[in-house]
Amino acid sequence: MQSNQPEPIKADWIVSLLGRVKALEVNSHEEALTSILVEQALENAKRTATNPGISLAAAFDLIIAAEYYTKLTNKGWLYCPVNNIPLLIYPYTNACPRCVLQGNFYYHQANKLPSGTIGKTTSRLLCVFLKHLFKINSRNLKIYHGAEPVDVIIHDEKESVVLLAEVKAAPLTTLALAAKVEVQTEMGENGEPIPCSHSPTDNSFLASSNLHIILPKLEEDYWNCQQPSPKGTEAL
Angle, alpha carbons 204-113-52 (nearest 5°): 110
Q: What is the reported pLDDT for 10?
A: 57
Q: What is the reported pLDDT for 215?
A: 86
For 87, other C-beta atoms within 10 Å of its C-beta total: 25
Q: What is the reported pLDDT for 32?
A: 92
For 236, other C-beta atoms within 10 Å of its C-beta total: 25
Give me the amino acid identity at 39: E
- If you average pLDDT over every residue of the chain, what do you get? 84
Residues of the chain with pLDDT under 50: 229-234
Peptide bond into 171 cis (omega under 30): no
Distance CA 219, CA 236 (A): 14
Q: What is the reported pLDDT for 171?
A: 63
Q: What is the reported pLDDT for 7?
A: 59
Q: What is the reported pLDDT for 146?
A: 73
Q: What is the reported pLDDT for 21?
A: 76
Give me the amino acid identity at 144: Y
Q: What is the reported pLDDT for 5?
A: 64
